[in-house]
Amino acid sequence: MSFFSEFETSVFEIIAANPQVNHAVIGMSRLNRAIHALTIGHGEKSVLVNATHHANEWITTLVLTRFIKEYANEIFKSNITMHCIPLVNPDGAEFVTDGFSSEWKANICGVDLNSNYPAGWDIAKKNKFARGFTKPGPRDYVGPAPLSEPESCAMAAYTTFYDIDITISLHTQGEEIYWRYPGFNPPGAEELARRFAAASGYKLEEVPDESSHAGYRDWFIQTFNRPGFTIECGLGENPLPLSQFNDIYKKVSELLKVVIFP
């Protein structure tokens, strides 16, 4: 069974076992694969957790899916609404897990989805082009325009429609937490970042210049001036091996509990 098929099976198992979990398809990928969202709870504060913007970081989809399975009932009783989009880049993840290229981060059209958002897109384009990423390829191509891809469009539309309060994006690797975007200091963001670090053991870091701008977190902070976080899970070279899954899951689940069960 393919990675995407196994993922969809997990989604439908979650829905069947937890009637309180709401399910929606928020868009379709370039190859017409569904982008699934699962929503749990009716609390006043909304938290959106997403995974696998980058194809070879697919282990984060497994981490988030397991968290939903294990904590759906507790989340429903909490004072938050948790929105989960476990597989932002289904085509890319399928491409990597089918063995075509372990270095592939982009969507199937060769656009790096986490460099395709409007915040500082022109700056990101200049920086990436200077490093040779001028056309579709495995990584770092920003696309022909901001939100040119259906996957990034779906994320931006969903986030805006539900007026999300906090976003957490699961990536790999480095065991680091990024929470800043230049010129913005969302209320409560630094305190929450420090609590995430204490719970997970991950370090608070500044985003490297070559990775700054045009990311989902950048766009969210710039657009809403609310806390947005990138969590770089695990250590090593992407794609991280499944042997790291339990360690990653333990640390990330403790981090997520901070915001879900405050």
User: Which residues participate in catalysis according to the annotation?
Assistant: 232
Looking from the CA of 170 toward its CB, the CA atoms found within 13 Å total 31
- Give the CA diameter of the chain: 50
Describe the crossing of helices 189-200 and 245-260 by its angle, rounded to 10 degrees.
140
Coil, strand or helix at 28: strand
Looking at this protein, which amino acid is placed at residue 226? Answer: R
From the CB of residue 242, how many other CB atoms can be counted at a distance below 10 Å?
10
Contact 36, 155 (CB under 8 A): no
β-pair partners for 23: 38
